[in-house]
Amino acid sequence: MGVLNLASVGTGGPVPRILVIEDDPETAEEIAACLTASGFESSRCFDGPTGLEAAMNEQFDAITLDRMLPGLDGLALVKALRDAGSDAPVLMVSALSDVDDRVDGLRAGGDDYLIKPFAPKELIARLEVLLRRHQTSGAEVRLRVADLELDLVKHEAVRDGRRIELLPMEFQLLEFMMRNAGHLLTRRMIFEKVWEYYFDPGTNLINVHVGKLRRKIDGPGLLPLIRTERGQGYMLYAP
């Protein structure tokens, strides 16, 4: 897993630097350990004001931000950061899981919202997607991974020259996976980004949706593009 992550994020470029703003030392330690294991570099801040100062003065590739911080809370911090013109991707981390809290967090300028308690892999997966999104424009009309092509204008998927019939949700799922090709996507992330629901969908629901999509695109005799990361999620990549 670690090798794959390194391959996907560090293709010869500099190692991404992540600022971790978290007041609980143990959680901060855990996040930092996770980041290091996945090939990131991390700095830590334990309260709002120093976090904001660090985010303003140094260049970070992404920030994980606890919602409730001493001194200056996460919402105010991300707002101040955006007002100052910073567009570093921010992953808000919070124990408040309600949809309204999520909306508040995203409205204040956060890019994604992760609920405590979380699995470390979930955090890494979301950060990678944020880093990736930051690099792409989002204005593409055609996505391509290996011999799989997705035409966003004609709403058409073609693999190996053969057209694949997809239902609307399957198309959206495939688009999401292709946009984030090479990154681990957890079930929860898929459910949130594709279906836009924020509750726990249970383990199997996303599995069967991905399974159905996989049967359509990874036909017999073709190289499998969708790979299952056991117990964690899925990754679409060109082998």
Partner 1 sequence: MRLSEIWRTTTFRLSLLYFLLFALGAVALLALVYVRSAVYLTQRVDRILAAEASAEMTLPRSALRQTIDDALIVNSRNSLFALFAADGTRLTGNLRRLPEGLQPGGHPVEMAPTADFPASARLVARRLPSGDILVVGRAIDQLREIRRIIASALIWSGVLTIVAGLACGVALSVGPLRRLRKLQAAAHHIAAGDLRRRMPVSSRGDELDMFALTVNYMLGEVERLMGEVKTSSDTIAHDLRTPLTRVRAQLHRLGLGAAVDPADIARVTAELDEVLERFIAILRISELETRARSAGFAATDLSRLLQQAGDLYQPLAEEAGVQLTVSATPGMIVDADAKLLFEAVSNLVDNAIKFSGKGGEVRLQLDGRPEGPRLIVQDDGPGVPAEERTAVLQRFYRSERDKLTPGSGLGLSIVAAIVRLHRFGLELQDSGPGLRVVIECHPVDVNI
Binding residues (CB under 8 A) for partner 1: these are 95-100, 115, 117, 119, 169, 195, 197-205, 208-209, 211-212, 230-231
Q: In 3-state terms, what secondary structure has residue 233?
A: strand
Instruction: Compute the least distance from the CB of residue 16 to partner 1, in Å.
Output: 26
How many residues comprise the chain?
239
Q: Which is nearer to partner 1, 163 or 230 (CB)?
A: 230
What token pair was written down for 157?
A: 């998927």
Q: Which is nearer to partner 1, 52 or 164 (CB)?
A: 164
The neighbour count for residue 220, using CB atoms within 10 Å, is 5
Q: What angle do CA 201, 185, 1 make, to 5 degrees?
A: 125
Q: Which is nearer to partner 1, 53 or 200 (CB)?
A: 200
The alpha carbon of 131 is separated from its chain's Cα centroid by a whole number of angstroms, namely: 8
Burial class (CB in 10 A: 0-12, 13-18, 19+), 35: buried
Instruction: Compute the least distance from the CB of residue 99 to partner 1, in Å.
Output: 6
Distance CA 66, CA 60 (A): 16
Instruction: Compute the least distance from the CB of residue 233 to partner 1, in Å.
Output: 12
Looking only at the bridges linking them, the beta strands covering 62-66 and 226-229 are unpaired
Instruction: Compute the least distance from the CB of residue 117 to partner 1, in Å.
Output: 6
Instruction: Compute the least distance from the CB of residue 226 to partner 1, in Å.
Output: 15
Q: Which is nearer to partner 1, 85 or 117 (CB)?
A: 117
Instruction: Compute the least distance from the CB of residue 23 to partner 1, in Å.
Output: 19
The neighbour count for residue 80, using CB atoms within 10 Å, is 17
Q: Which is nearer to partner 1, 33 or 197 (CB)?
A: 197
Q: Which is nearer to partner 1, 9 or 157 (CB)?
A: 157
Distance CA 156, CA 175 (A): 11
